[in-house]
């Protein structure tokens, strides 16, 4: 019965600690991002700096991609995640002290943004690889969905809270952020110790590239990761929401805020549903259908001139994206041996980051060339084309029935 595993998950104390740590770190990062953006713009008044600070945070993910996965597989993952959370707490503390003394500068913010990106580039694959060792494999899809609900809840609530607190001064954001990260650190250190042996190998080039080779050797994993990369790369319309809010839907900043929150609301609602009723059968078909719905919703949003219809379509878009994400994350982790999970998660994280960052760049370029509405509609069509092509290129993924099929030991036949 679907309610029984869900009940077990709710009573699984290590997962509850993991979930709380996730919501604290996600909230801390969202509040920190809001405060850094406002702080930087107050200092310089340069819109370009806002784009540069995001790029500076992304650069470490590329620079350290191979090393982050190796660290997650080589060392105790609880301690690696806790160290990363401590570093982020120190970054927030530095900004808080700088705000109190009036010594925050543009250069200081860029340096701390780079360190923040570096800490997160090590933390993300480590926490992703940590989750399968906390819950049984039967509960893992629900655990992924529940974990994502924490992320989406933080995405909806924390930026607004950060903006509200910033009205009283930057210290009122940076100070609570330090506390959130330290609580998350304490929760992470109390998780169960790793049961499988640590990878004692040195950080050779062969070891660092092992995650890429493993993904290439598993067509289903390669297909799922690359499907997300190209679907989001083409279908993302987030960067153009200000244009739609102002020039097409004729609303103000409040409308833009609702449009930005709508996908997260859809994702949150769907993650709560999947945490209770996971997709156990026909996972390939469901995942490809969800990506197709994502493409159709993108087209509908691009053609819409109604604010409320656009809002509803974005909720559907976020829900569809959550379905494909949970299925992909679940079976990729379950199909990957524990000693490889850190390196595979690092590659997967780079793909996700690249799809989001490059997707915004692609949206801006195509909107400049063809116009805003055609750019979004073509992006949605491109997502549908990618979905069809990937079904042909990865038939075993499209026909995949279950998240994970354990390899059974061969049964020996009795001899006469």
* Contacts of residue 363, Cβ cutoff 8 Å, sequence gap at least 6: 236, 237, 238, 239, 240, 375, 376, 379
Single out the residue of 171, 43, 179 nearest to residue 96, CA to CA.
171
Take residue 249 and report the two structure tokens written for it: 């839907």
* Contacts of residue 234, Cβ cutoff 8 Å, sequence gap at least 6: 359, 362, 379, 380, 382, 383, 386
pLDDT at position 229 over 80: no
Q: If you ran DSSP here, which 8-state letter would residue 11 be given? A: T
Residue 196 confidence (pLDDT) = 59
pLDDT at position 353 over 70: no
Task: Categorize the per-residue pLDDT at 200 as very low, low, confident or very high, splitting at 50, 70 and 90.
Answer: low
pLDDT at position 26 over 50: yes
pLDDT at position 416 over 50: no
Residue 359 confidence (pLDDT) = 63
The number of angstroms, rounded, from the C-alpha of 147 to the middle of its chain's C-alpha atoms is: 11
The 10s digit of each residue's pLDDT in 86-118 is 999 999 999 999 988 888 888 999 999 999 989
The 10s digit of each residue's pLDDT in 243-280 is 787 788 887 666 776 787 788 889 889 988 887 777 77
Residue 404 confidence (pLDDT) = 64
> How much of the chain exceeds pLDDT 90, in percent?
24
Phi, psi at 412, each rounded to 5°: -75, 140
pLDDT at position 411 over 50: no
Q: Around Cβ 282, how many Cβ atoms within 10 Å? A: 13
Query: Which has more confidence, 325 or 83?
Result: 83
Residue 189 confidence (pLDDT) = 92
Kindly report the pTM of this predicted structure: 0.71
Single out the residue of 135, 131, 138, 146 nearest to residue 276, CA to CA.
146
């Amino acid at each position: 019965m679907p309610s029984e595993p869900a009940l077990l998950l709710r009573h699984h104390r290590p997962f509850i600690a993991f979930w709380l740590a996730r919501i604290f770190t996600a909230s801390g990062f969202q509040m920190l991002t809001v405060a850094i953006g406002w702080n930087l713009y107050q200092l310089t008044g340069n819109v370009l700096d806002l784009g540069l600070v995001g790029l500076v945070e992304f650069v470490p993910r590329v620079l350290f991609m191979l090393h982050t996965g190796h660290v997650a597989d080589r060392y105790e993952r609880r301690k690696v995640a806790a160290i990363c959370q401590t570093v982020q707490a120190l970054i927030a503390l530095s900004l808080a002290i700088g705000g109190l003394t009036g010594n925050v500068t543009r250069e200081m913010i860029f340096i701390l943004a780079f360190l923040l990106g570096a800490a997160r580039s090590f933390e993300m694959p480590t926490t992703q690889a940590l989750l399968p060792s906390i819950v049984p494999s039967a509960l893992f899809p629900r655990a992924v969905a529940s974990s994502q609900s924490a992320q989406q809840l933080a995405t909806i609530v924390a930026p607004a809270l950060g903006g509200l607190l910033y009205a009283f001064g930057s210290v009122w954001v940076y100070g609570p952020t330090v506390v959130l990260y330290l609580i998350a650190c304490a929760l992470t250190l109390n998780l169960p110790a790793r049961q499988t042996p640590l990878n004692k190998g040195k950080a050779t080039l062969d070891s660092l590239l092992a995650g890429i080779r493993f993904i290439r050797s598993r067509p289903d994993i390669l297909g799922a990761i690359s499907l997300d990369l190209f679907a989001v790369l083409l279908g993302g319309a987030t960067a153009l929401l200000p244009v739609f809010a102002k020039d097409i839907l004729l609303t103000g900043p409040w409308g833009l805020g609702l449009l930005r929150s709508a996908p997260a609301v859809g994702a949150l609602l769907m993650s709560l549903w999947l945490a209770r009723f996971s997709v156990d059968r026909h996972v390939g078909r469901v995942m490809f259908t969800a990506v197709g719905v994502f493409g159709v919703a993108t087209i509908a949003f691009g053609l819409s001139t109604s604010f409320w219809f656009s809002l509803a379509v974005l909720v559907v878009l976020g829900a569809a994206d959550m379905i494909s994400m949970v299925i992909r994350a679940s079976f990729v982790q379950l199909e990957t041996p524990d000693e490889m999970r850190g390196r595979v998660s690092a590659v997967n994280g780079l793909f996700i980051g690249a799809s989001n960052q490059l997707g915004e760049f692609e949206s801006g370029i195509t909107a400049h060339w063809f116009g805003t509405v055609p750019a979004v509609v073509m992006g949605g069509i491109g997502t549908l084309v990618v979905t069809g092509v990937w079904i042909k290129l990865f038939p075993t993924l499209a026909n995949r029935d279950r998240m994970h099929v354990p390899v059974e030991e061969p049964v020996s036949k009795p001899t006469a």
